[in-house]
Amino acid sequence: MREAHPTDEWMMKSNFKDDVCYKQPKNLDERVVIANDFIKRYKYPVPFGIDDMSNAAEGAYSAWPERLYVIDERGHIAYRGGMGPFNYDPKELRGWLAARYGEVQHPDAKPAGTQPGGAKPGDAQPGPGTPLGTAPKS
Amino acid sequence: MTLFWKWAIGIFLVLLLGAFAGLSVMAGSPKDAYGMLRYALPHMHSGKLKVGDDAPDARLVALDGSARFHIRERTGGAKPLVLVFGSFT
């Protein structure tokens, strides 16, 4: 989706501090570069998709600048988070998921406290930056 | 220009400045207030989606920059799909 705080629009002090300085992408290639930089820096373990320059996904889900959704097994909106930044609440989503589906334990994750730093996000996950469109292995 | 209109314009400008000053305090600085008005507000839409609606479909691009796929290709399975929308900056 559109960058929220690119250097050529509304750049924040935190962009300098965190070294996240990019211009608003003018084409898909620039957007893909930024997405890959993000994946690499944070070793992001969750499957990832990039909105094309029509911003179709952003528009369909009114998602800018950040938002959380859950689509249930029947393809319906089951959870719709508040609009970011002030109403973007991952803890609320985590609580909602736990209430609806129960607490999830990843099969390979060790319980927190049994290894230095405890269980880390990304343990027992698909490889970093696994494309969302990758077909699951049978 | 009549005195009435001068006063009306003057009061309007004072209110406008006051609103901008208030927004500057909320946003952190006049620069951030301007940024919010110029770049953020035009793109922020609450939208009409509700819980229970059919999830809209959209085509996304994979990290390689060329493969394409649809959001709805990953729904309808045994597990729900969590969508985390955001940008790096």
What does the pLDDT look like over B28-73, one tens digit per residue? Answer: 889 888 888 888 888 888 888 999 999 999 999 999 999 999 999 9
pLDDT over 90 (residue A21)? yes
Closest chain B C-alpha to A92 CA, distance in angstroms: 13
Mean per-residue pLDDT, B5-32? 91
Q: Which residues of B touch A133 (CB under 8 A)?
A: 60, 62, 67-69, 73-74
What pLDDT is stored for residue A129 in this prediction?
Answer: 46
> How sure is the predictor about B27, in pLDDT bands with cuts at 50, 70 and 90?
confident
Point out which residues pair with B60 in neighbouring strands.
Answer: A51, B69
What pLDDT is stored for residue B82 in this prediction?
Answer: 95
pLDDT over 70 (residue A33)? yes
pLDDT, mean over chain A: 81
Q: How much of chain A, in percent, has pLDDT values that exceed 90?
A: 64
Q: Does B47 touch chain A (CB under 8 A)?
A: yes
Q: Does B59 touch chain A (CB under 8 A)?
A: yes
Residues A31 and A54: their CA atoms lie apart, in Å, by: 12
Residues A102 and A80: their CA atoms lie apart, in Å, by: 19
Residue bearing tokens 């952190």: B28
Closest chain A C-alpha to B15 CA, distance in angstroms: 25
What phi and psi values does residue A131 have, to the nearest 5 degrees? -60, 140
Instruction: Name the 3-class secondary structure at B69.
Output: strand
> How sure is the predictor about A109, in pLDDT bands with cuts at 50, 70 and 90?
low
> One-letter amino acid identity for A63?
A
In A24-63, which ranges are continuous DSSP H helix?
28-42, 56-60
Residues B7 and A124: their CA atoms lie apart, in Å, by: 68
Residues A78 and B80: their CA atoms lie apart, in Å, by: 9
pLDDT over 50 (residue B86)? yes
A20/B32 touch (CB, cutoff 8 Å), yes or no: no
What pLDDT is stored for residue A106 in this prediction?
Answer: 63
Answer for the pair B73, A47: CB distance below 8 angstroms, yes or no. Answer: no
> How sure is the predictor about A84, in pLDDT bands with cuts at 50, 70 and 90?
confident
ipTM: 0.79
Q: Which of A10, A52, A131 sits opposite B63 (nearest CB)?
A: A131
The two tokens of residue A45 are 């373990």
Query: In this complex, how many residue pairs, one in chain A and one in chain B, have their CB atoms less than 8 Å apart?
Result: 178
Closest among B27, B43, B4 to A51, alpha carbons compared: B43
pLDDT over 90 (residue A63)? yes
Helix (H) or strand (E) holding B68: strand B68-70
Q: Which residues of A touch B58 (CB under 8 A)?
A: 51, 56-57, 60-61
> One-letter amino acid identity for B29?
S
Q: Which residues of B touch A138 (CB under 8 A)?
A: none
B60/A83 touch (CB, cutoff 8 Å), yes or no: no
Q: Does B23 touch chain A (CB under 8 A)?
A: no
Q: What is the CA radius of gyration of chain A?
A: 17
